[in-house]
Amino acid sequence: MRLLFLGDVVGRPGRVAVSERLPELKRRWSLDCVVINGENAAGGFGITEGICDELLTAGADVVTLGNHSFDQREALVFIERQPRLLRPINYPATTPGRGATLVDTSTGARVLVINAMARLYMDPLDDPFSAVDRALLEAPLGRVADAVIVDFHGEASSEKQAMGHFLDGRASLVVGTHTHVPTADHQIFDGGTAYMTDAGMCGDYDSILGMTKDEPVRRFVEKTPGSRLEAASGQGTLSGIAVETDDRTGLAIKVAAVRIGPRLSPALPEFWEG
């Protein structure tokens, strides 16, 4: 199975990059499942129903979220009627929405997608390790799910690596989101799980984490309150990770970084490009 995960979509540049590039990538690479983190898609803060529909129309099978899940208050309502939009599974049980879903692909295979949020330097939610563990017990890889993708939204690389090793052999892909900076550690663990500490962002990299540069710099220099952060408006770059799995086990056999755009050095999955 061919899986593509794209990191945090930040503002209009990220949305345009997805809308313009993903349909062709899905066709060219014969992708079975695409997951996109959309928690910064609405001007850098949260997601609206219209933007969620835009990402799904572009080719996403599931949209995941994170600490900005409900910055747009309408998300509290429409997340209940959109089964392909996930918020972190370790939110309190009374939080609207869901943290995991099974997606049927065009070939009849089923992909379990789980969204969880880390706790180090983040909002203190419930234990993400036990929450993900419970979801995998309900739909284990190789028995209920033909592939498993886990988006672990967090700040600390150590916590993300711990989740990757905790799930090694039980997930096809464990990928971190939230820091908006793509890491260079994409690999396949000994148990067969593909891993990357952070997928980076889909957005304008001539920025500070997707935001216009002046206000973040001023805050660091002057240490005083200022104006609201605004998403940068330059050309967007796609960042993410591509994984091919063994149809028999659901575990990863190939992994590559994906970077397509004007600012970062390009990266493509050569095993699909040849």
Q: Which positions are catalytic?
A: 68
Alpha-carbon torsion (34, 40, 46, 50), positive or negative: negative
Q: Identify the bridge partners of residue 85 per DSSP, sorted by sequence position.
A: 63
Q: Alpha-carbon distance 24 to 63, whole Å?
A: 19
Q: Alpha-carbon distance 84 to 40, whole Å?
A: 17
What six digits make up the tokens of 165?
Answer: 């090793």
Contact between 163 and 174 under an 8 Å Cβ cutoff? The reply is yes
Residue 269's region, left for phi above 0, alpha for psi from -120 to 50, else beta, is: beta
Cα separations (Å) of 196 from 80, 116, 177, 212?
30, 15, 9, 27
Contact between 44 and 180 under an 8 Å Cβ cutoff? The reply is no
